[in-house]
């Protein structure tokens, strides 16, 4: 494993709080596929962790409420053939998920006014286009 997985700043996933489970991956494979447990399931107890600051924890619990089962978040990985690479992928995915869930909310948008010149130009061009189209009608041809 490549050490601690940073969430943001100096906060990282504590190795002691990560719960790993391994099982056989589905899909095609060779002779080795029936004997290796390469699918990885990573569980992290978000509700009971002390690794995250309280504000982050509260924010993550709120944003990930649909994915949590009894306060535990589960990430699965089975795209690689080796267990080690699947472990890496699952841990990186969990760290990214937590980083996104604990991010501060975006600043509210300050509404801006459309400059008068732009609005006048739009109306002038609209009127010009209408005149062009009106000139195409076959009223005077007959």
Give the integer Cα–Cα distance in Å for 118 and 122: 6
pLDDT(3) > 90: no
Q: At what angle do helices 54-63 and 83-102 cross, to 10 degrees?
A: 100
Q: How many CA atoms lie within 13 A of 41 on its CB side?
A: 9
Q: How do residues 54-101 score in pLDDT, each as one tens digit?
A: 898 898 889 888 888 888 899 999 888 888 899 899 999 999 999 898
Q: How many CB atoms lie within 10 A of CB 49?
A: 16
Q: List, for residues 32-56, the tens digit of each pLDDT value.
A: 656 677 888 999 988 888 888 889 8
Element (H, E) at 19: strand 18-23
C-alpha closest to that of 53 among 104, 106, 108, 105: 104
Instruction: Give the Å distances, CA to CA, from 23 to 9, 18, 41, 85, 102.
Output: 33, 17, 8, 14, 30
Task: Spell out the domain ranges in the chain.
Answer: 6-102
* Range in 20-24, 70-74, 112-116, 127-131 the model is least confident about: 20-24
Fold of 6-102: Double Stranded RNA Binding Domain (3.30.160)
Global pTM? Answer: 0.68
């Amino acid at each position: 494993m490549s050490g601690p997985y940073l969430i943001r700043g100096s906060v990282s996933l504590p190795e002691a709080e990560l719960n790993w489970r391994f099982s056989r991956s589905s899909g095609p494979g060779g002779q080795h596929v029936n004997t290796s447990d390469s699918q990885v399931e990573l569980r992290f107890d978000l509700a009971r962790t002390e690794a995250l600051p309280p504000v982050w924890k509260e924010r993550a619990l709120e944003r990930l409420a649909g994915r949590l089962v009894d306060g535990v978040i589960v990430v699965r990985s089975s795209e690689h053939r080796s267990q080690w690479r699947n472990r890496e992928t699952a841990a990186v995915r969990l760290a990214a998920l937590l980083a996104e869930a604990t991010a501060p909310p975006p600043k509210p948008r300050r509404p801006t006014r459309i400059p008068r010149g732009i609005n006048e130009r739009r109306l002038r061009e609209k009127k010009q286009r209408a005149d062009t189209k009106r000139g195409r009608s076959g009223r005077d041809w007959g």
